Amino acid sequence: MFNLPPGTLWLLMINVAIFALQSLGGDNFMITYFALWPFPSVGFEPWQLLTYSFLHGNIVHLLFNMLALAMFGGDVERVWGRNRFLTYYFVCVLSAGLTQVLFTYLTGSQSETIGASGGVFGVLLAFGMMYPHRTILLIFPPIPMPAWLFVTLYGALELWFGVKGIERDVAHFAHLGGMLGGYLMIRYGRSRR
């Protein structure tokens, strides 16, 4: 985990640097212009479909996303290479953003969306598809399970939380949108080969 390839390392450093800027007093400005605002609200701008992924609500939000990115992104990038990995990551971010925009439009929500979770969930899906039998040990509960099962359960849990409205301040459908975009990109890549 500490010998990360360059694309994963760059994503980690950029996310941490932008969180530091947010913490130093730029939070209101950055949220106003770079968070993903619902469409068709006054605050929505097209670039927000990517920029929202570099903003985080607090240190715990940042740490969980960056820990997952470091744990799973390095292995995916080592197989695909930097350019393909970064393209994949940002396709997942974009598909998560589009899913969230659709969800907020349909529900009438006016809340902004921030966080790298859409890209991270896409990377998690890729990891589970590449290394389905690699064992993942959860922190809580401490249960070892194969990667394919972990990814499947996590996706199902996100769907359940989203449908039931559990943890309303979490963009569960954006997470699923990141996984969906990642899955479609992997399928597209396989069909071209």
Crossing angle of helices 147-164 and 172-192, rounded to 10°: 140
Strands 135-137 and 144-146: antiparallel
Instruction: Tell me what pLDDT residue 44 has.
Output: 87
How many Å apart are CA 134 and CA 157, to the nearest integer? 21
Polymer length in residues for the chain: 193
Instruction: Tell me what pLDDT residue 40 has.
Output: 81
Instruction: Tell me what pLDDT residue 161 has.
Output: 81
Instruction: Tell me what pLDDT residue 193 has.
Output: 65
Instruction: Tell me what pLDDT residue 154 has.
Output: 85
Q: Which domains does the chain have, with CATH numbers?
A: 6-192 (1.20.1540.10)
Q: 10 Å Cβ neighbour count for 83? A: 10
- Residue-wise burial string across 169-186, b where 16 or more C-beta atoms lie within 10 A, e elsewhere: ebbbbbbbbbbbbbbebb
Query: Quick check: 104 and 38 in contact, CB under 8 A?
Result: yes
Phi, psi at residue 38, to the nearest 5°?
-60, 150
Instruction: Tell me what pLDDT residue 160 has.
Output: 85
Instruction: Tell me what pLDDT residue 2 has.
Output: 62
Per-residue pLDDT of the chain (193 residues; tens, 9 = 90+): 468 999 999 999 999 999 998 888 767 888 888 999 988 877 888 999 999 999 998 899 999 999 999 999 999 999 999 999 999 999 999 999 999 999 888 887 788 889 999 999 999 999 999 999 999 887 767 888 899 998 898 888 888 887 777 766 778 789 999 999 999 999 887 777 6
Instruction: Tell me what pLDDT residue 82 has.
Output: 95
How many Å apart are CA 119 and CA 108, to the nearest integer? 24
How many Å apart are CA 69 and CA 61, to the nearest integer? 12
Alpha helices, DSSP H, located in 22-143: 27-34, 48-51, 59-68, 74-80, 82-107, 117-130
How many Å apart are CA 97 and CA 75, to the nearest integer? 25
Instruction: Tell me what pLDDT residue 75 has.
Output: 94
